[in-house]
Amino acid sequence: MENSNPVLDFVGPAGITRHWTGLGAGLPNRKQEEWKYVPVEALMEHLYPKPEQPLSLNQRPCPDGLPTEIRYLTVSQALSQAIPGIEQALNAIQTANLDGMAHRFKQAIGSQAMVLWVPKAFSANAPISLAPAIQTNGQTTDALLILLQAGAEIDLILPEEAKSSRFSFTYVGLEASAKLNLHRDLSGSDSVFAMSHIEAQLAESAQLNLVQWLQGAAAQRHSIQVNLAGAKSLAWISSLQFAQANNQVHSYVNMVHQSPEAESHQNIRQLALNSGVSSFTGKIHVALDAQKTQAYQHSAAMVLEVGGRTYHRPVLEIYADDVKCSHGATTGSLDEQALFYLQARGISKPAARRLLIEAFIEECLHEFHDSLQQKVRTDLIQSLP
């Protein structure tokens, strides 16, 4: 019997079959080079059919102690109160080329999605943590619009519910010089399916620093599209991915440089244990007039046990001529000589492995908020063989 929530039909036997078909086909995504001329939409429709009934969303509860200047309300409320920026955000979502799964949110967003709105020049002095959406049928489906007015600055932590399958859509709208640090904990227990899409729009000199920790889950697929629409905007994406036995952990980034002098960094670290699979597909698109772009991508993977697999798929599409772009990918295993060196100094093999693994992820991990860093270290230490 298939699940009644149409958007979550990747859960349940039929949905799982469809999902694996999708994975087997290389996770089609229009933004990927190899799928450029394939009618991916049709394929995705087949994998993830359009809902017949409107999608119903779960909501993240309002966090305690939210500064009074920050508003947390539904899209309908935001519309009726004419919150600045809401119209543009909804427009951007409706016109965005969202891929197979994310496009289903278009219908539902108009009313039930939640909006986190930060006024002009407001700067929160403590990080805001938005608890996971409340689940129904052991699943959560949520949509969140994060709107920062000009010059606003916040740190936002999005922990996820580890025990349920989830599907989420996040829109990030950053006005001029706004600055968002977004920390996502996407760890999940082994039976979970998790998919998400982030669509981010950056105005002039806006800054997005997005870090994510992907661990566990039967399958996770997270896509991020960043539109560097304003000149001198800046985006940093750090993704730390850990595939244990039977986990499928996949992330996609599409970094679109639309304006001059913007800068982007994609910094990925992948770890795979026996029969775990992790992949990263990262695209850098530089439009014709996005001169003086700086775009960098670095993905490094470490296979910790025989049978683990990791993939990097860099895609560069560059139309401007005065740009600095680079990408690099490395895959390796733990350095046996370094392990022996550490052991010879009294450090046990498991502790030596831990030191080397922490060193490997450090460059990515130090971008994470302290509380999340602590959690990542604990999660990792508990899961290492």
Partner 1 sequence: MYMLEIRNLHASIDGKPILKGLNLSVKAGEVHAIMGPNGSGKSTLASIIAGNEAYEITEGDVLFQGISLLDLQPHERAAAGVFLAFQYPVEIPGVSMMNFMKSAINEIRAQKGQEPIEASAFLKLVREKQALVELDAKLANRSVNQGFSGGEKKRNEVFQMAMLDPKLAVLDETDSGLDIDALRIVAQGVNALRNSQNSFLVITHYQRLLDYIVPDVVHVLANGKIIKTGSKDLALELEAKGYDWILETDQA
Return the number of the residue (64 or 336) whose C-beta is nearest partner 1. 336
Residue count (the chain): 385
Smallest distance from partner 1 to CB 269, Å:
11
Residue 379: count of CB within 10 angstroms of its CB: 17
Smallest distance from partner 1 to CB 336, Å:
8
Smallest distance from partner 1 to CB 355, Å:
5
What is the bridge-based pairing of β-strands 71-74 and 114-118? antiparallel
Residue 288: count of CB within 10 angstroms of its CB: 10
Give Cβ neighbours of residue 19 (< 8 Å, ≥ 6 apart). 10, 47, 193, 219
Q: What is the Cα–Cα distance from 257 to 289, expressed in whole angstroms?
A: 9
Return the number of the residue (42 or 359) whose C-beta is nearest partner 1. 359
Smallest distance from partner 1 to CB 303, Å:
18
Give Cβ neighbours of residue 125 (< 8 Å, ≥ 6 apart). none
Smallest distance from partner 1 to CB 359, Å:
3
Per-residue burial over 133-162, b = 16 or more CB atoms within 10 Å of its CB, e = otherwise? bebeeebbbbbbbbbbbbbbbbbbbbbbbb
- Show the binding pattern over residues 328-367: x = contacts partner 1 (CB under 8 A), - = does not: -------xxxx-xxxxxxxxxx-xx--xx-xxx-xx----
Return the number of the residue (307 or 350) whose C-beta is nearest partner 1. 350
- Show the binding pattern over residues 278-317: x = contacts partner 1 (CB under 8 A), - = does not: ----------------------------------------
Closest Cα partner for 280 from 265, 263, 299, 297?
A: 299
Return the number of the residue (337 or 382) whose C-beta is nearest partner 1. 337
With contacts defined by CB under 8 A, how many residues of the chain interact with partner 1? 23
Smallest distance from partner 1 to CB 326, Å:
19
Smallest distance from partner 1 to CB 308, Å:
20
Return the number of the residue (82 or 344) whose C-beta is nearest partner 1. 344
Angle at 145 between CA 144 and CA 147, to 5 degrees: 145
Q: Is 322 in the site for partner 1 (CB under 8 A)?
A: no
Return the number of the residue (65 or 346) whose C-beta is nearest partner 1. 346
Query: What is the token pair recorded at 288?
Result: 């014709």
Q: What is the Cα–Cα distance from 309 to 271, expressed in whole angstroms?
A: 9
Return the number of the residue (74 or 343) whose C-beta is nearest partner 1. 343
**Contact residues: partner 1, CB under 8 A:** 335-338, 340-349, 351-352, 355-356, 358-360, 362-363
